[in-house]
Amino acid sequence: MSGQQPAASVQHKPRLFHSSLTTDHSRSIGILGGGLAGLALAALLGERGHVVTVYERDRAGGKLRRVVVGGLSFDTGPSLFTFPGVWRAFLARLSEAGLGEADPLDLRPLPGGLGVHHTPFGAVPLPVPEGHPLHAAWAAYGAAADVLAPHLGTLLTTPPRLTDPAFRRASAALFRATGGHLTAEGWVRARRLPPALAHAVRTHALNAGLAPSDAPALYALIPALVAGSVARPARGMGQLLDTLLALGAARGVQVHEEARVVRVDAAAARLTLNGGEVRRHDLLVSALDPVRLAALRGQVVPSPVARRTVSGVALYAALPAPAPLPATSVLPPADFGTFRAAMRAGALPPDTLALVHADGPRLAVLLTAPPTALDLGPAHPWVRAQVERVERTLGVPGLLATARDVTALSPRHYAAGGHPGGAIYGAALPAWRGGPLHPQPYRLHPRLWQVGTGVHPGGGIPAILGGALMVDTLLGEVLGRLR
């Protein structure tokens, strides 16, 4: 693998934190995991005046990192920024004290929106433009999501409690939009969409890390809800990591990198680091995968492949010249039933979901794979076959072979980060528990909470930031009672 540059330039001043440093209104809070969820929540809790320490086993950022390939810098992890309203809600929460933060990300619309979807029934750009043969069907499909759109921010940022009138209204809008269907597949079938559009819509069930027949019906509405608001920060996705680190540092958050937690005692709010050092706090929040957290607590939680979301293979290539491709291309599996069976069996499917992002001489090819911690590099026969399918479909045969350098991140890489088998979205919940409606186990113990994709799966960055806002709300309600 090519060398990696530091995840951010934010400097943190050394400082010791103990419960004795807190006031009657502040608490010493330890956050396990310095991914986006942990960093976002740390900034929110720091804004409340709490003394926050983040423990990260490697480098801050989680799946969002920077790698240098052939002299070019690539942002790994999330590649699109959708539902920008959640980011604005996050900044607004930080600015409640009158700080007046300007948006440091400078989000820019991504050309082509969600990209061209190369289905077995033909290519479909999402959103479908006027004049396209499928535009009328796209407009009718989008109208079904109109009832939900005004309430989406509430669903993504509000704790799922039926005692909350705003959440009840948003839930009712979701039920009206999904028409009582539990799964994305059920919703798509009922709409009787043209085959090419239906196949493209089904693809976005994988925003939940699941096949359409397993994902909640909400994910069938994702293209209509986000197609007009797909963006990236002007300086790349890594700017989100830099910003979260800077926002935390401005609020006294201390980030300890290469501080691997090896034991967690929830009752004492105590954790042990890999060097044997013991840290005590008033409260702990885990941003780790729940299976990994259970192991740190001395518990055993089985996690077979069928109960995990998907993993992936990410290929980052430095080309000698800009690729003759649109910004985003999507190649869904030809048959989602075959794809689902392979994922549940832990087998490599005959073809898989491939996302292709082209940015000048930078090329990223992202392949969905089962969560089996396999080491799948560019030379692996299955990876080669998927790349050839991508090149053949996009009309650029042999493109990757021209690259000056290629770096691959495989399921083994994601598994090393503590995600069982490399499961990117954690455990696979049944459709009736997925999405925003079912109460999540944010509080495992009076002194141990959870945040992140492991307990609020799917949805990428909006779910991560929204989940942090939810936990911040809930903690704000109980911290005054903590003794």
Q: Which CATH number fits domain 19-105+235-289+429-481: 3.40.120.10, 3.40.640.10, 3.50.50.60, 3.40.50.300?
A: 3.50.50.60
| 246 CB-near residues (< 8 Å, 6+ apart) | 8, 10, 104
**Rounded Cα–Cα distance for residues 182 and 23 (Å):** 47
What pLDDT score was predicted for residue 98? Answer: 45
Asked if residue 208 lies in contact with residue 219, where contact means CB atoms within 8 angstroms, the answer is: yes
- State how far the Cα of 229 lies from the Cα of 280, in Å rounded to an integer: 43
In degrees and rounded to multiples of 5, residue 394 shows phi and psi of -90, 0
CA distances from 47 to 40, 116, 239, 269, 370 (A): 11, 41, 21, 21, 39
Give tens-digit pLDDT for 277-312.
999 999 999 999 999 999 999 998 777 888 899 999
| 8 A C-beta contact, residue 364 and residue 315 | yes
Asked whether 360 and 322 are in contact (CB, 8 A), the reply is: yes
pLDDT at site 5: 34
Q: pLDDT 10s digit of each residue in the chain, 483 long?
A: 333 333 333 333 333 333 334 555 789 999 999 999 999 999 999 999 999 999 999 999 999 999 999 999 999 988 889 988 999 999 999 986 444 556 789 899 988 999 999 999 999 999 999 999 999 999 999 998 999 999 999 999 999 888 999 999 999 999 999 998 999 999 999 999 999 999 999 999 998 899 999 999 999 999 999 988 899 999 999 999 999 999 999 999 999 999 999 999 999 999 999 999 999 999 999 999 999 999 999 998 777 888 899 999 999 999 999 999 999 999 999 999 999 999 999 999 999 999 999 999 999 999 999 999 999 999 999 999 999 999 999 999 999 999 999 999 999 999 998 889 999 988 888 888 877 777 678 999 999 999 998 887 666 899 999 999 999 999 999 986 654
Give the whole-angstrom CA distance, residue 243 versus residue 281.
26
Residue type at position 387: V
CA–CA separation, 421 and 287 (whole Å): 18
Cα–Cα distance for residue pair 423/202, rounded to 1 Å? 20
User: What pLDDT, on the 0 to 100 scale, is given for residue 24?
Assistant: 57
Cβ atoms 256, 56 nearer than 8 A: yes
Edge-to-edge strand ranges of the sheet holding 311-318? 122-126, 115-119, 328-331, 354-359, 362-369, 311-318, 405-409
d(CA 229, CA 283): 37
Give dist(CA 447, CA 11) in Å, integer: 30
How many Cβ atoms sit within 10 Å of the Cβ of residue 379?
A: 9
Instruction: Give residue 459's pLDDT.
Output: 64
Residue 281, phi-psi category: left (phi > 0), alpha (psi -120 to 50), beta (remainder): beta
Q: What is the DSSP letter of 449?
A: E
Spatial contact of 314 and 366, defined as CB atoms under 8 Å apart: yes
Closest CA to 8 of 296, 247, 327: 247
Position 434 scores a pLDDT of 79
Is there a contact between 185 and 399 (Cβ–Cβ < 8 Å)? no
Phi/psi of residue 367, nearest 5 degrees: -115, 135
pLDDT tens digits, residue range 347-363? Answer: 999 999 999 999 999 99
The per-residue pLDDT for 482 is 57
Sort residue 454 into left (φ over 0), alpha (ψ -120 to 50) or beta. Answer: alpha
- CA-to-CA distance for 409 and 315, rounded, in angstroms? 7
pTM score: 0.92
**266: Cα within 13 Å, side-chain hemisphere:** 17
In angstroms, the Cα distances linking 93 to 54, 87, 97, 100 are 20, 10, 9, 10
